[in-house]
Amino acid sequence: MRDLCKFIYQLTRNSVLVAAHFLLFMVVTTDFHTQLQTLDSLTVNPEFRAVVTAYSSSSDETADDPFITASGVRVRHGIVACSRDFPFGSKFLIDGQVYECLDRLARRFDDRIDIWMPSKEAAVNYGKKVLVVEVLDESDASTSGKKIG
């Protein structure tokens, strides 16, 4: 059964539709507990390359109150806006710094990560970069904004 799950996983990792069928397969399987253990044993690479940009609390860059994030917290150093693929509170290591996802991007920019900056000038100066982004566990960094290395 483990080999079957790995085979299906390899087929599904690039297709949302097939992934949905895989999840349906997992739900209707009578040995659901075993399937969950198998799914937990599959490893996912916690690093990916992403377009990383910056934004500020300018009214032309945000919706509603420019100083309140989509998660409801006030903007501060160490916050990023990320795609809806990541839950609020997800932490990332980007260029030696830990950031926490507490804001959302416009859906058309879901392929990037946007770092909050205190001024529009700082955001513009940051520019647009393609960087390696590492998804961190809660145990990897307790606070966002922390420098590593």
In this structure, are 99 and 69 located in the same domain?
A: yes
Q: Which percentage of the chain shows pLDDT scores above 70?
A: 60
**DSSP secondary structure of 106-147:** -GGGTTEEEEE-SSHHHHHHH--EEEEEEEEPTTT-SSTT-B
CATH number at residue 119: 2.40.40.10
Q: Which percentage of the chain shows pLDDT scores above 90?
A: 50
Q: Residues 17-32, buried b or exposed e (16+ Cβ, 10 A)?
A: eeeeebeeeeeeeeee
Band the pLDDT of 52: cuts 50, 70, 90.
Answer: very high
Q: Does the residue 143 lie in any domain?
A: no
In this structure, are 55 and 95 located in the same domain?
A: yes
**Domain assignment of residue 112, given as a range:** 47-136
Give the model confidence (pLDDT) of 6-25 as tens digits: 555 554 444 444 444 444 44
Q: Does the residue 141 lie in any domain?
A: no
Whole-structure pTM value: 0.63
Would the pLDDT of 144 be above 80?
Answer: no
